[in-house]
Amino acid sequence: MIKHVFFDLDNTLWDHRANAKLTLEQLFDQYTIGQEYSLRFDDFHKEYFTINENLWAQIRDGEIDKDHLRKHRFYDTFLFFGVDNMELAQKFEEGFLDQIIEFNVLVEGAKELLNYLRTKGYTLHILSNGFMEVTNRKCIESGIDTFFTTIISADEINVRKPQREIFEYALQRANANPSESVFIGDDWIADIEGALAFGMRAVFFDVFNDGFTAPNVNSVHKLAEIRKLL
Ligand SMILES: [Mg+2]
């Protein structure tokens, strides 16, 4: 019945949170933020994490664009700690995008799952809301690109998940029908509601125990659990 498996990339397969933390730690040391501003990395990271997640949710909801995110995620973080410095924030932003590609930690069990699905004969695809210029590079550098028949970024047509058009575009590119396709992702609205609305099956990778549920949606907390479903 199911022939095509579509994956979200960030935090579903490619561990953005782990890689972002490693990158931030490197920048924090590079600009000696701890000494200059008497900040602890863990505090800085925790605040950045919250601010960044909120900005990405606003992008998903069409409230802001990615220039706004790039201008604000570090500026707002520093500002939280009383450091009003746009120049420093922009150095962090540029350094972050340059340096995060040095790190390629995958979500636990990602490669094992992809191997399993390939062995079972499924055709695998990526549909990411991330920046087009980095999606391919992440797949290549982390060594998972060869698993996928198509790797699609929403940027290609400038429409993001959960909008119907991007699912339509992705399935067309993959030569797949919704009824023979399943979507696996960690964002309830973008990945799961988007896929369901397009008539696909969906598996929610519920990393943070958000507990969202819907009829016909399986939730897993570890990627390895998906073996029971496919
Ligand atoms: Mg994701």
Q: Is the pLDDT of residue 60 over 90?
A: no
Residue 35 buriedness (CB in 10 A; 0-12 / 13-18 / 19+): exposed
Map tokens 């060594």 to a residue.
143
Q: How far is the CA of 186 from the centre of ligand 1 (A)?
A: 5
Q: How far is the CA of 12 from the centre of ligand 1 (A)?
A: 5
Helix (H, G, I), strand (E, B) or coil at 14: strand
* pLDDT tier at 195, thresholds 50, 70, 90: very high
Q: How far is the CA of 9 from the centre of ligand 1 (A)?
A: 6
Domains in the chain (CATH in brackets) are 4-15+106-228 (3.40.50.1000), 16-102 (1.10.150.240)
- Quickly list DSSP for 189-207: IIIIIHHHHTT-EEEEE-T
Q: How far is the CA of 54 from the centre of ligand 1 (A)?
A: 13
Environment of ion ligand 1 (residues, CB < 5 A)? 8, 10-11, 186
Q: What is the percent of the chain with per-residue pLDDT over 90, rounded to a whole number?
A: 85
Residue 131 confidence (pLDDT): 81
This prediction has a pTM of 0.84
What is Dmax (Cα atoms) for the chain? 59
Q: How far is the CA of 16 from the centre of ligand 1 (A)?
A: 8
What are the beta bridge partners of residue 164? none
pLDDT tens column, 31-49: 999 999 999 999 999 999 9
